[in-house]
Amino acid sequence: MSPAVSTNDLRNGMTLEVEGGLFAVIEFQHVKPGKGGAFVRTKLRNVKTGAVLDRTYRADEKLMQAIIEKKEMQFLYRDGNQYVFMDNVSFDQIPVDTAALGEAVRYLVEGSSASISFFGEVVVGVDLPAAVELEVTETEPGVQGDRVQGARKPATLQTGLVVQVPLFVDVADRVRVDTRSGEYITRA
């Protein structure tokens, strides 16, 4: 059973059980109009779908707080439609569906670390480092003399992710990619 929390105690990042789903508080505002009772305006993001809801609650209304547990885990291998992670503390292996990982699958390589968020036994999210190092598996060679300032070309990385890289980057080079934007940062 999740603990009840008052709307007066909401904080950004807090996770709530609302209408049968999990929602993270993006922002909230306490409002005390001249007439009537105080209320709280909130913006809530669905943890699974990313959809944002605007909800208004009475001041001191009780909501159910979802207890989210984060574990540092290492990605071991892919098995069909599941990614198998190992808990860094207990060494338990946990299969996670591709759908639960979302965009993170574009940055996961064997041996990489991630912080997996659980609600009970269900995976509800994954946090990756801000940047990851990936190998270029396919790209066009840079043409001699074609050195326009800031020119870019597409490169396919080992996870299948395609990013725009400078002309000097070749196959087998390792590059750092920003996991938040999916953009090339530098050659590693």
CATH code of the region 69-127: 2.40.50.140
- Distance, in Å, from the CA atom of 156 to the CA atom of 46, rounded to the nearest integer, reads 31
As a whole number, mean pLDDT of residues 44-59 equals 85
pTM, entire model? 0.70
Evaluate whether 4-65 and 69-127 have a shared fold: no
Asked if residue 156 has pLDDT above 90, the reply is yes
Average pLDDT of the residues of the chain? 87
Q: What is the pLDDT of residues 87-141, one digit of tens each?
A: 999 999 999 888 778 788 899 999 999 999 888 888 888 888 889 999 999 998 8
Q: Please report which confidence band the pLDDT of residue 76 belongs to, taking 50, 70 and 90 as the band edges.
A: very high
- Class of the CATH-defined domain 131-187: mainly beta
Helices first, then strands: H and E counts in the chain: 1, 16
pLDDT value for 167: 86
Domain boundaries, the chain: 4-65, 69-127, 131-187
pLDDT-based confidence at residue 147 (cuts at 50, 70, 90) = low
Residue 89 and residue 71 in contact, taking contact as beta carbons nearer than 8 Å: yes
Rg of the chain in Å (alpha carbons): 22
What is 4-65's CATH number?
Answer: 2.30.30.30
